[in-house]
Amino acid sequence: MAKWKAGLLAVIFWSLSAAVGAVSSLSASEPRLLFTVHGSNTVGASLMKNLLVAYLDSKGATDIQAADLVVENEYRVQGVIDGEVVYINVAAHGSSTAFKGLLGGVADVGMASRRIKDKEVRALEYMGNMRDFAAEHVVAIDGLAVIVNQVNPIDNLSLDQLAAIFSGQISDWSEVGGSPGKISIHARDNKSGTWDTFKNLVLRKKVKLSQEAARYESNDRLSDEVSMDPNAIGFVGLASVRDSKAIGVNEQGTDPLLPNKLTVATEDYPLARRLYVYTPPGIIPHVIRDFITFAQSDLGQKQVDKTGFISQNITSIPASADLQGPKEYLALTKDAQRLSVNFRFEQGKAELDNKAIEDIRRLTEYLDGSEGDQRLWLIGFGDTKQTEQRAKVLSKLRAVAIMSALRHAGVTNTSIAGFGAYKPVASNNSKSKIKNRRVEVWLR
């Protein structure tokens, strides 16, 4: 009897051990969530997916997959690291949902195609300053492209013309020099950062979007609709032009510019914008900090370029043969290479903005990898002031600020110049005149 009990206890013990082992094995095989990302469809539709796939690959992950979830514009990116399945969930429903997600605790990372608003900063101030360098991260530059059908003969429109078209004040293409036909308006939805950017830069609180406009959550779908309608016009992120035609845009007193790698990278294009990732500025998990570092690195920015947005990696472009300007400016830039970066400052301050701080690092690394004895020219510009001389002095001081930051980083072969309010990229009679306060970078 004792032997039978002992045998029974052994069987029970073995069974329990096997069950516990099975449960432990099951737990170990369950996928582990690394973090969640909410926000912009412009950032989330393809760019975030490609960045996450490349990030997992850089960590040695295998069997990397990106799969759609049940809800439209939501997906999961997962891979296997050291035998463990890890994943990131992404919900791309518009920039405003980034900050709602952070506020509600359902998002660890927010993505936005416009800068965080004052009211959102206030709502999240318990986390810290969401405009701090530790919280606000520029991951790409985008040109908000105004698109028309390929057969449309219109190649350029001013911001005033665009405002009149999208508000319905101009309703026929013949009113702007095109072929007769009722204009069909296509716009992003109210949750979109793309819409928010367009509203602020084009409609400018002076007019409202026409009630006849068709609205879309997706950039790609909007572009596809425009490509099928000869009388259509819309706006999308640069990566979503697809089979439509992007047109040149200009503000009063400036020349029309098409969105391309140089005009968007330098943010001279009137509808250029920054694409952001936001994180609480306090202590955040290492994996999130590591991902953001990757996204802003050379490898991450190559994914930006592959996705169709504009990389922040610095490149050089020969001076244009038709470059215009004062004799001194033309002499400085003759036989020189224009670098694909402009330095800008915090609004109303002499401090470099968050992107400029990262660009100092990028420029330093670019110069370390360049060959030959080359001199860096920092050429400042600004908006109009009481006198032309004051504008020149302020533009030169901006160049001095960049030279000082570069010297702190170990770059000493720099020279400076300032040309005041010459060559505006925005109207000096609008709020966007702050874009004229910039420093161009040339290599000789």
Q: What average pLDDT does this structure show over 373-401?
A: 91
Mean pLDDT of the chain: 90
- Looking at per-residue confidence, does 371 or 59 come out higher? 59
Predicted confidence at residue 26, as pLDDT, reads 36
Q: What is the pLDDT of residue 376?
A: 95
Instruction: Name the token pair of 143.
Output: 């040109």
User: Average pLDDT, stretch 94-118?
Assistant: 97
* Residue 178 scores a pLDDT above 60: yes
Query: Are 60 and 112 in contact, with CB atoms under 8 Å apart?
Result: no
Average pLDDT over residues 301-306: 96
- At residue 383, the pLDDT reads 87
Query: Residue 282: pLDDT above 90?
Result: no
190: closest CA among 179, 202, 198?
Answer: 198
Q: What's the pLDDT score for residue 10?
A: 42
CATH architecture of the domain formed by 145-258: 3-Layer(aba) Sandwich (3.40)
* Confidence band for 384, pLDDT divided at 50, 70 and 90: confident
Highest mean pLDDT among 172-186, 337-351, 386-400: 172-186
Residues 146-171: what's their mean pLDDT? 98
Confidence of residue 29 (pLDDT cuts 50, 70, 90): low
Query: Is pLDDT above 80 for 372?
Result: no
| Average pLDDT rounded to a whole number, residues 28-51 | 93
Angle at which helices 47-58 and 298-307 pack, to 10 degrees? 140
Residue 245 has pLDDT above 80, yes or no: yes
| Percent of the chain residues topping a pLDDT of 90 | 75
Distance, first Cα to last Cα, the chain: 97
Q: What is the pLDDT of residue 5?
A: 41
Measured distance CA(360)–CA(435) in Å, rounded: 19
**Does 314-443 match 145-258 at the fold level?**
no
| Average pLDDT over every residue of 144-159 | 97
Phi and psi angles of residue 107, each rounded to the nearest 5 degrees, phi first: -125, 140
Distance of CA 232 to the CA centre of its chain: 26
Residue pair 167/161 in contact by the 8 Å Cβ criterion: no
The whole-angstrom separation of Cα 120 and Cα 28 is: 39
- Furthest C-alpha separation in the chain: 110
Of the candidate ranges 89-93, 206-210, 373-377, 428-432, the one whose mean pLDDT is the lowest: 428-432
Domain covering 31-130 assigned CATH 3.40.190.10 in the classification: yes
Q: What is the pLDDT of residue 396?
A: 95
The domain defined by 314-443 folds into 60s Ribosomal Protein L30; Chain: A; (3.30.1330)
Q: What DSSP line would sit under 214-244, residue for residue?
A: EEES-HHHHHHHHHT-TTEEEEE-GGG-TTS
List the structure tokens of 440. 């161009």
Distance CA 307, CA 239 (A): 7
Here the tokens at position 89 are 């969930």
Q: What is the mean pLDDT of residues 244-250?
A: 97
Residue range 62-76: mean pLDDT, rounded: 97
pLDDT of 371 reads 72
CA-nearest of 315, 328, 324 to 362 is: 315
Bridge partners (DSSP) of residue 35 are 88
Q: Minimal CA–CA distance to 194: which of 275, 308, 98?
A: 275
Residue 219, token pair as written in the block: 């950039």
Query: Looking at the predicted structure, is the pLDDT value of residue 15 above 80?
Result: no
Nearest to 214 by CA among 222, 206, 203, 223: 222
Give residue limits of the domains in the chain: 31-130, 145-258, 314-443
Distance of CA 319 to the CA centre of its chain: 26
Question: Which helix (H) or strand (E) element contains residue 259?
Answer: none
